A = this chain, B = another copy of it.
Amino acid sequence: MSEYAFGRPIGKIIHGGDYNPEQWLDRPDILEKDIEYMKQAGVNEATLGVFSWAMYEPREGEFHLEWLHEIMDRLYENGIYTILATPSAARPAWLDSKYPEVMRVDDMGIRRRHGLRHNHCMSSEVYREKVGIINRKLAEEVGDHPGLLAWHISNEFGGECFCDLCKAKFQDFLRKRYNGDIEKLNHEWWATFWSARYSDFSEVEPPYANGQIAIMGHKLDWRRFTTWNYADYTRSEIRAIREGSKKKDVPITTNLMKRFYDIDYRVLAKELDVISWDSYPLMHNDWESYEDTMIEGAFDHAIMRGLRKDKPFLLMESCPGSVNWSEYNKLKRPKVHEQFSLQAVACGSDSVQYFQWRQSRGAWEQFHGAVVSHLGTNDTRIFREVAHTGETLKKIAEVEGSTSRSEAAIIFEWENWWAIDYSGGFSGKTKKYDTTCQKYWEALMRRGIDADIISVNDDFDGYKLILAPMLFSVRPETAEKLKAFVEKGGILLGTYMTGYVNENTLCYEGGFPGAGLKELFGVIAEEIDTLYPSDKNAICMTEDKCFSVRDYCEILRVSDAEVLGKYKDDFYSGTPAITCKKNGQGKAYYQAARILPEELVGFLDMLISDAGIKTRELPSGIEWHRRVGADATYDFYLNLSEQDVTLSGLNGIDLVTGETINGNVTIPGRGNLVVKTV
């Protein structure tokens, strides 16, 4: 498949976002102003129809799509593409009123009422049928429109339904998963515990909040089912589009969300032609620095990038002002909008898109930031910042289609995340699987290594260093892959809480890490100590070089690994805490306790060096990313600080100014630099 986000080069970085002209159909003056302002802002795309069902079909079977066609025409005439959403994300009132089964049932078994959005029963055949009808109508109406850039399925999938339809579908899912053998399920769920054995699949229920919530295998399978059901539903939407439209190759996406827990995005990603997501970081908050917020956002981009490594992704939504739903909705300070936008591109996005173009006059998001505010003019600070970004994006348009590559990877796995969280034991306050992975990624970033975020199912070839933090749930195949990676020369890091359970959360017997990993690392974790926040310990490599540890300390038995670091305190003082075992050409490191994030990089230096990965010393405050195209390389330098920062030893072309760089470049506070080298 092509490396381009839309399957073909567009010749620009997409700049646009959600546009809801149906709120203003009685105001042609405003619709006209919109086009004028879009052009002023360098907007070249509009995402239409995300919540338009009730306008398309105000009463069952009565369709009004002509306004959409007209808007798309007018946009296209003005050089503005359309990404067209299917309208399934919010149901019209008549649908709920007539077919209550389309409304979700909560985890206490109570059916929701009409209202809000994103709360359909994904199993309901009625819902799927009605969505299919409107999707086909849309595809027939505008499916081959020349301005149609992509289809956008529904919106921000999430949540779950506990209705009887979902129960039956879950039972079918389990029947297939366990080959119709209830005893297999009883074994994998270890259901003999607390007499939880089933005599038939028909007795199995979803994990109701007032029902069975003590079986981790049950809960994990429920998440797998939910993921599968979303993917299955997505296929049903796509089918209707493809049936209705003459043009069959318009790419399809749906907008994903930050660190989203409910759905294994890697499974859902298989249904999509291009990955897109919505990013809403809370800038200038009171619990972390601006730099911290930005770097966390970069990690989130890395996750999205990793879902489809072969092509750029899209930043489908972001807020050009402040959001309206956070505890404190603070304004973005000047220059932050452009830096945030360029960061997305630097991390692999081929678009910068907003929710939304124009603020809604009423209802929930009326105070959510937008390009055009209630003031309704183009002479606002925010409009100017957006327009400036539009200019910049035009200047760097050639990065389109280029992608990122890394020699280092961090394993981040949805099923593992769930397995850790569902496990009884440890501490519900400090498991923090996802932020733990983030902290490892950030530590590598401090050495100029923009690591990939990968799945255990991804190809490990091409990586020199793999970090696998807290890989609690491990399949035997995964263990084999990790062994092979090390044998062939890879450097691997395993940590506390590795290999405790199999893919159904059954514990490995005979010593953790299980599935053969104890042989790979040469250690067994006999016990794991869960620390209170006030408890502290350290791992000392030498008397002078110690790393502070918190939260978790495994007590190791070392069979045939080299002991590199030992505990400093407590009753296991002096016992092994960091080990390394050579396997074939590579090495398997084991880190038995949680090192403080700010001290991690000091520990990882050893592994980076072993892996022979080039590091890059960056001045404080500079965030760096690289995109590699067919003919050129693009280095992005974001100055996150408010002071000028001078970079030295640069060569290439400043892509924004077009000037040649040779030596030092000073980037002003919160300024950015894109350097092209051929």
When C-beta atoms are compared, the residue in chain B nearest to A211 turns out to be: B113
* A5-13, A486-494, A506-514, A613-621 - the one binding chain B: A506-514
A208-B113 contact in complex given A426-B367, A507-B366, A531-B328, C-beta closer than 8 Å: yes
Chain A contacts with B in 514-544, Cβ cutoff 8 A: 524, 526-535
CB-CB < 8 A to A532: which residues of B? 284-286, 328, 330
- Is A260 part of the contact surface with B, judged by Cβ < 8 Å? no
For the complex, is A395 an interface residue (Cβ under 8 Å from B)? no
A196 in contact (CB, < 8 A)? yes
Shortest beta-carbon distance from A180 to chain B in Å: 17
Cα–Cα distance between A91 and B426 once the two chains are bound (Å): 28
The answer to whether A190 has its CB under 8 Å from any CB of chain B is yes
Beta-carbon nearest neighbor of A190 in chain B: B362
A426 to B331, CA, bound (A): 10
Docked Cα-Cα span, A190 to B284, in Å, equals: 31
Of the listed stretches A51-59, A123-131, A297-305, A432-440, chain B binds A51-59
Instruction: A200 to B199: give the CA distance in the assembly, Å.
Output: 45
Cβ of A193 and Cβ of B23 under 8 Å apart? Answer: yes
User: A211-225 interface mask toward B, CB cutoff 8 Å, 1 = contact, 0 = none?
Assistant: 111111100000000
B residues in contact with A368, CB < 8 Å: 424-425
Stretch at the interface among A226-234, A374-382, A402-410: A374-382
Contact check: which of B97, B208, B327, B375 meets A115 at CB < 8 Å?
Answer: B208
- Cβ-defined contact, B511 with A375, below 8 A: yes
Copies of this chain, whole number: 3
Query: Roughly how many angstroms separate A112 CA and B212 CA in the complex, as a whole number?
Result: 10
Q: Which residues of B contact A213 (CB under 8 A)?
A: 115-116
A86 sits at the interface (CB 8 A): no
Whether A359 sits at the interface, judged by CB under 8 Å, is yes
Q: Please tell me if the beta carbons of A427 and B329 are within 8 angstroms of each other in the complex.
A: yes
Interface membership of chain A positions 189-219, coded 1 if the CB is closer than 8 angstroms to chain B and 0 otherwise? 1111111111110111101101111111100
B375 & A51 in contact (Cβ 8 Å cutoff): no
Please, which residues of chain B bring their CB within 8 A of the CB of A53?
A: 195
Residues A423-481 near B (CB distance < 8 A):
423-430
Q: Does A42 contact B (CB under 8 A)?
A: no
Instruction: Decide if A650 is an interface residue (CB 8 Å cutoff).
Output: no
Nearest-CB distance from A375 to chain B (Å)?
Answer: 5
* A112 vs B109: C-alpha distance when bound (angstroms): 10
User: Cβ of A548 < 8 Å from any Cβ of B?
Assistant: no
Check: A20 CB closer than 8 A to any chain B CB.
Answer: yes
A23 to B191, CA, bound (A): 9
CB neighbours of A426 from chain B (8 A):
329, 367
CA distance A154 to B24 in the complex (A): 48
Whether the pair B192, A20 counts as a contact (CB closer than 8 A) is: yes
Return chain B residues, CB-CB under 8 Å to A508.
374
Shortest CB-to-CB span from A202 to chain B, Å, is 8
**Which residues of chain B are within 8 angstroms of A211 by Cβ–Cβ distance?**
112-116
A197-B92 contact, Cβ under 8 Å, with A203-B97, A212-B116, A571-B333:
yes
Q: Is the CB of A324 within 8 A of B192?
A: no
A632: interface (CB < 8 Å): no
Task: List, in ascending order, chain B residues with CB within 8 A of A349's CB.
Answer: none
- B529 and A330: CB pair below 8 A? yes
Q: A328-B427, A427-B329, A529-B330 are in contact. Are A363 and B190 (CB under 8 A)?
A: yes
Closest beta carbon of chain B to A577's beta carbon, Å: 15
Which residue of chain B has the shortest Cβ distance to A58 in the bound complex? B199
Given A115-B214, A199-B93, A374-B512, the answer on whether A366 and B286 have CB atoms closer than 8 Å is no
B residues near A504, Cβ cutoff 8 Å: 362
The answer to the question of A246 belonging to the interface, with a C-beta cut-off of 8 Å to chain B, is no
Residues from chain B with a CB closer than 8 A to the CB of A533 are: 286
Closest-by-CB residue of B relative to A286 is: B532
Q: Does A106 contact B (CB under 8 A)?
A: yes
Q: Is the CB of A424 within 8 A of B365?
A: yes
A22 at the interface (CB under 8 A from B): yes
Contact yes or no, B112 A193, CB < 8 A: no
B197, A507: Cβ atoms under 8 Å?
A: no
CB distance from A175 to the nearest CB of B (A): 16
A331 and B527 alpha carbons, distance in the complex (Å) = 8
Q: Which B residues lie within 8 Å of A360 (CB)? A: 190, 193
Pairwise interchain contact A530-B322, C-beta atoms closer than 8 A = yes
Instruction: Tell me which of B113, B205, B363 contacts A205 (CB under 8 A).
Output: B113
Query: Given the complex, which residues of B lie within 8 Å of A329, measured CB to CB?
Result: 425-427, 530
Q: Are B365 and A112 in contact (CB under 8 A)?
A: no
Asked whether, in the complex, the Cβ of A195 is within 8 Å of the Cβ of B51, the reply is: yes
Q: Is residue A280 within 8 Å, beta carbon to beta carbon, of the partner chain?
A: no
Closest Cβ of chain B to A558, distance in Å, is 14
Given A93-B198, A216-B366, A329-B427, 7 extra CB contacts under 8 A: A52-B195, A54-B196, A92-B199, A93-B204, A117-B195, A214-B363, A321-B527
Closest 9 CB pairs of A and B: A190-B362, A115-B212, A113-B211, A367-B425, A193-B363, A90-B195, A214-B364, A54-B197, A286-B532
12 A-B residue pairs with Cβ-Cβ distance under 8 Å, sorted by A, are A22-B192, A51-B195, A93-B203, A96-B203, A109-B113, A114-B211, A193-B364, A215-B363, A216-B362, A286-B534, A331-B530, A374-B512
